Amino acid sequence: MLTSRSTSRLGAALIGAIAALVLTTGVAQAHPESEGEHGGCVVTAEPGTIPVGGQFTVAGNFGGASIWVLPGADATVPEGATPSATTPAGASSFSVVFTATGDPGELTIFAAIEGSECGDTDHVTVSAATLPNTAVRGQADTLAAIVGIFLLGAALVAGNVRRVTPRA
């Protein structure tokens, strides 16, 4: 049978583990491997929705990339098409900013090392209207920090609780 001291330590460990999970939950990979084959090369385009004339960033985990920004949700690179941008060879990653010109709709972003299996696709939606800034990331991060601090405090209190026996 567990004594109250070992129960308190177990409780403190569990609360500490939960606090660590709460504080690290916001860390996530934006482009999961489950999206399909891409030869270990990953490309992301952020933000995913922008107004006409807005900017988006294309980033990848490889260098020497040719990047095509194509109109349409399922666009493919035409044979002999000139890339919208290229990145230096030998770099371990890249980040390029583009401005969405043209009509509203979907853009397909394709980046690859030409002549290899290394390449990936992402998408950006260009809207006709200016989008309001409804980001709540700061609020969510603040809430997670408050909850994490509360849980860590609870773990410290639970770890120091001793069984108090009344005196007769």
> Which is more confidently placed, 128 or 158?
128
**What's residue 30's pLDDT?**
43
Query: For the chain, what is the domain count?
Result: 2
- 99 with 59, same domain: the answer is yes
- 122 with 145, same domain: the answer is no
- 68 with 142, same domain: the answer is no
Q: Residue 64 is part of a domain; what is its CATH number?
A: 2.60.40.10
Structure tokens at 105: 């709709």
Question: What range does the domain containing 146 cover?
Answer: 4-26+135-160
15-24, 68-77, 128-137: which range is least confident on average? 128-137
- 84 with 141, same domain: the answer is no
Q: Is residue 7 over pLDDT 60?
A: yes
**What's residue 31's pLDDT?**
43
- 115 with 55, same domain: the answer is yes
The three-class DSSP label of residue 122 is strand
Specify if 123 maps to a domain: yes
- 47 with 76, same domain: the answer is yes
The pTM of this model reads 0.55
- 120 with 142, same domain: the answer is no
Q: What is the mean pLDDT of the chain?
A: 77
Q: Which letter, b or e, does each residue of 94-103 get, where b requires 16 or more Cβ atoms within 10 Å of its Cβ? A: bebebebeee
**What's residue 145's pLDDT?**
77
